[in-house]
């Protein structure tokens, strides 16, 4: 049973997520390139992290005890940039500089350009390993900060991902949370047609993860999963978040064509109408 | 020059693969979840039984390609250059090159012209990495016709090859008579030699045209075949013109410029200038504007050319 306070918190998060989805469309349209599909699928997860879970301080992005987020699927950068802007890490009017020469908003997130980005990514398979390293570092230093990483399901085909997951399980990193954006598609089609990753929850369990299976667009379920992870001792948590690629824009949903293709002007206008606004 | 026809090198590759697939029923093609971009999807559509899109696992794609080739097949494997030469480097080194497996790696999206994806995806080190591998042939086509010819040429011999393609469409600058180990002389001249690969061959021709307007005749060599490379043409260029400018969309540390400078220093030392990406990573931006930002503009090339001419005492 949700309290009235809980409900209003979820509503507030949903409002932020809607803003992020609008930004993703505007940013990729303006840039003329980028990855709308996989940005829209992680939007609710990123928004929940940014506004309800991560202990971070935009005024002091390098605060040692902060929580850390590694966006392993670095091509979902537009969603993260937008959520970071809403959270105060950068001015919102900077968002439309995505992918322009000299911009801090590189096509794939870049820690040397934008404060608040914990690790530069873009080549899939490397985020979990960096997150494991950060979690080990935190444990060695006795810091309370937790480490979160978001990976893609196509990314689960990469051997590097499983090597790093194995290390996280082996070292019993209970300060590590791996979130799988299970949107069922990669660049060329459905993961299960190209190179099947199922049974994915069994795989995480076999790799010694406390494994949760949730609707990745249900903000209440996302927050509950984070609570569960925080209460888990002696092993890392894996959250298999069932999502929809292109979520929120009807003609992009479950269409892998929009993996790496920005909307045209007409498409952007249509998308923004669906999202209750205009270009 | 201005109205030259431009063409997608990736289309040229994909279409040629289909033709090769028709004439050789044993040929197999692999890709790693980028088949739409690399154009191997064209082959996959025609020959689904001989096409393996393995997903995001580039090192394993290369080891599988080696396994398929060790049974006697010709195998083509494609992905972006950053993943083919970067992510999968040691799989290419051991499973393919050390085994001398008959795998033809055709890597698209080499260099800065990748554009918006940024520095993580702009592979600037692949030519150096690949030409350092014993037994590996390395080809960087400048246009569609050379891409078609090179895609066929690598099937003619048994052993590994790496072809680096550019994402952007490029103007046709050659007649497509590519031969492994031979440089293409695209313009005659004896005041200076411009040696280029890939997208910068067209730029070298523009520079030569500018120089011609003021009475300087530059020879232009297309070094598409970087390994094996045309040592005779290089020596002739050094002897005949006495100065060489190299142009490449790659780090100057290990690419064409490094090859030309180290070779001529042992055979016939002449002043050399290397135009390439300095020792930095790329970044996001509009593809052609990035060439200017990283020092590969026509103006910079001209400055380097004039500097060489001054060093040779050919101008004041
Ligand atoms: C190592 C590596 N190989 C290939 C790519 C190119 N690429 C970018 S996104 C992508 C598909 C990834 O699929 P998934 O992880 O499911 O991402 P999502 O659908 O969530 O966007 C590919 C192949 C890459 N970035 N890194």
Residue B102: what are its φ and ψ, rounded to 5°? Answer: -85, 65
Spans in chain A with pLDDT lower than 70? 1-2, 5
Partner A contacted by B44 (CB < 8 A):
no
For residues B13 and B24, give the distance between their C-alpha atoms in angstroms, rounded to a whole number. Answer: 16
Pairing of strands B184-187, B218-222: antiparallel
The pair of three-digit structure tokens given for residue A72, joined into one six-digit string: 């392993």
Let me know the angle formed at the C-alpha of A47 by A42 and A53, rounded to the nearest 5 degrees: 115
Q: Which of A151, A154, A152, A156 is nearest to A189 (CA)?
A: A154
> Who's near A140: CB < 8 A, 6+ residues apart?
none
- Report the separation in Å between the CA atom of A253 and the middle of ligand 1, taken as the mean of its atom positions: 17
* CA neighbours closer than 13 Å in the CB half-sphere of residue B297: 9
Contact B293, B281 (CB under 8 A): no
Instruction: Provide block-wise average pLDDT over 10 residues at a time, chain B (316 residues).
Output: 82 98 98 98 98 98 98 98 98 98 98 98 98 98 98 98 98 97 98 98 98 98 98 98 98 98 98 98 98 98 98 88
- A157 → closest Cβ in B57, B117, B120: B57
For residues A120 and A27, give the distance between their C-alpha atoms in angstroms, rounded to a whole number. Answer: 20
3-state secondary structure of A184: coil
pLDDT of residue A6: 82
Structural domains in chain B, CATH included, are 6-171 (3.40.50.970), 184-311 (3.40.50.920)
pLDDT of residue B3: 61
Sheet holding A176-182, edge to edge: A68-71, A147-152, A176-182, A237-242, A210-215
Asked whether the beta carbons of residue A188 and residue B36 sit closer than 8 angstroms, the reply is yes
3-state secondary structure of B227: strand
Residue tagged 């970087």 (tokens): B226
Which of residues 86 through 115 in chain B touch A, CB cutoff 8 A? 86-87, 115
pLDDT of residue A35: 98
Burial of A96 (0-12, 13-18, 19+ CB in 10 A): middle
The nearest alpha carbon in chain A to B86 belongs to: A123
The nearest alpha carbon in chain A to B39 belongs to: A188
Residue B110 is given by DSSP the state B
> Who's near B118: CB < 8 A, 6+ residues apart?
A99, A106, A107, A108, A110, A122, B282, B283, B284
Asked whether the beta carbons of residue A106 and residue B115 sit closer than 8 angstroms, the reply is no
State the alpha helices, DSSP H only, in chain B: 9-23, 35-38, 41-46, 58-70, 81, 89-90, 126-131, 144-153, 200-213, 231-241, 256-267, 287-293, 298-311
Partner A contacted by B48 (CB < 8 A):
no
Asked whether the beta carbons of residue B116 and residue A102 sit closer than 8 angstroms, the reply is no
Partner A contacted by B46 (CB < 8 A):
no
pLDDT of residue B209: 98
Instruction: Identify the H or E element spanning B31.
Output: strand B28-31
The 8 Å CB, 24+ separation contacts for B204-213 are B204/B245, B204/B247, B204/B301, B205/B1, B205/B173, B206/B1, B206/B298, B207/B298, B207/B301, B207/B302, B207/B305, B209/B1, B210/B298, B210/B302, B211/B302, B211/B305
For residues A76 and A151, give the distance between their C-alpha atoms in angstroms, rounded to a whole number. Answer: 10
A255: Cα separation from own chain's centroid: 19
Instruction: Identify the H or E element spanning B271.
Output: none
For residues B146 and B310, give the distance between their C-alpha atoms in angstroms, rounded to a whole number. Answer: 34
pLDDT of residue B64: 98
- Contact list in A for residue B115 (CB cut-off 8 A) is 33, 99
Q: What integer best gives the mean pLDDT of chain B?
A: 97
* Whole-complex ipTM: 0.96
Residue tagged 């795989």 (tokens): A203
pLDDT of residue A2: 56
Sheet holding B192-196, edge to edge: B184-187, B218-222, B192-196, B244-251, B272-277
- Contact list in B for residue A106 (CB cut-off 8 A) is 118-120, 283-284
The model's pLDDT over A133-152, given as tens digits with 9 standing for 90+, comes to 999 999 999 999 999 999 99
User: Across the strands, what pairs with A149?
Assistant: A70, A178
Largest CA distance in chain A: 53
Instruction: Identify the H or E element spanning A122.
Output: none
Q: Which of B229, B222, B213, B115 is nearest to B175 (CA)?
A: B222
Structural domains in chain A, CATH included, are 4-274 (3.40.50.970)
């Amino acid at each position: 049973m949700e309290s009235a306070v809980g409900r209003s918190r979820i509503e507030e998060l949903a409002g932020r997520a809607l803003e992020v989805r609008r930004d993703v469309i505007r940013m990729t349209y303006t840039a003329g390139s980028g990855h709308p599909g996989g940005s829209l699928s992680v939007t609710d997860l990123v928004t929940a992290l940014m506004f309800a879970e991560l202990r971070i301080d935009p005024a002091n992005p390098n605060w040692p005890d902060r929580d850390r987020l590694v966006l392993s699927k670095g091509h979902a950068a537009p969603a993260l940039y937008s959520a970071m802007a809403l959270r105060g890490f950068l001015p919102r009017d900077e968002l439309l500089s995505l992918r322009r020469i000299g911009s801090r908003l590189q096509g794939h997130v870049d820690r040397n350009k934008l404060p608040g980005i914990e690790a530069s990514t873009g080549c899939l398979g490397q985020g979990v390993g960096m997150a494991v390293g950060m979690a080990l570092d935190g444990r060695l230093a006795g810091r309370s900060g937790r480490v979160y990483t978001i990976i893609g399901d196509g990314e689960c085909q990469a051997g590097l991902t499983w090597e790093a997951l194995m290390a996280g399980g082996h070292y019993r990193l209970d300060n590590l949370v791996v979130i799988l954006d299970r949107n069922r598609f990669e660049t060329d089609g459905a993961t299960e047609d190209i190179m099947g990753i199922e049974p994915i929850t069994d795989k995480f369990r076999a790799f010694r993860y406390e494994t949760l299976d949730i609707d990745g667009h249900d903000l209440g379920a996302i927050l509950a999963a984070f609570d569960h992870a925080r209460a888990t001792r002696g092993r890392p948590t894996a959250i298999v978040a069932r999502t929809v690629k292109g979520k929120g824009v009807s003609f992009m949903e479950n269409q892998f064509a929009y993996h790496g293709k920005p909307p045209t002007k007409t498409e952007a206008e249509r998308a923004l109408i669906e999202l209750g606004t205009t270009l | 020059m201005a109205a030259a026809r431009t063409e997608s090198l990736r289309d040229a590759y994909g279409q040629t693969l289909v033709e090769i697939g028709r004439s050789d029923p044993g040929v197999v093609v692999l890709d790693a979840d980028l088949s739409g971009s690399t154009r191997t999807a064209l082959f996959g559509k025609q020959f689904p039984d001989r096409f393996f899109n393995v997903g995001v696992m580039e090192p394993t794609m290369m080891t599988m390609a080696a396994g398929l080739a060790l049974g006697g097949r010709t195998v083509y494997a494609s992905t972006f250059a950053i993943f083919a030469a970067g992510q999968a480097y040691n799989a290419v080194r051991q499973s393919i090159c050390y085994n001398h497996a008959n795998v033809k790696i055709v890597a698209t999206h080499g260099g800065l012209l990748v554009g918006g994806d940024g520095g993580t995806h702009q592979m600037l080190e692949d030519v150096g990495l690949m030409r350092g591998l014993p037994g590996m042939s390395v080809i960087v086509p400048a246009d569609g016709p050379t891409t078609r010819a090179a895609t066929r040429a690598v099937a003619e011999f048994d052993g590994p090859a790496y072809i680096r393609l550019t994402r952007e469409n490029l103007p046709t600058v050659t007649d497509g008579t590519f031969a492994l180990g031979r440089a293409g002389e695209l313009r005659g001249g004896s005041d200076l030699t411009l040696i280029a690969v890939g997208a910068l061959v067209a730029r070298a021709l523009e520079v030569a045209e500018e120089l011609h307007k003021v009475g300087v005749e530059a020879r232009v060599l297309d070094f598409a075949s970087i390994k094996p490379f045309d040592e005779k043409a290089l020596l002739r260029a050094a002897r005949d013109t006495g100065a060489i400018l190299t142009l490449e969309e790659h780090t100057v540390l290990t690419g064409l410029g490094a090859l030309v400078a180290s070779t001529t220093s042992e055979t016939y030392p002449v002043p050399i200038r290397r135009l390439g990406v300095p020792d930095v990573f790329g970044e996001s931006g509009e593809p052609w504007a990035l060439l200017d930002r990283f020092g590969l503009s026509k103006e910079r090339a001209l400055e380097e050319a004039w500097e060489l001419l001054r060093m040779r005492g050919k101008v004041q």
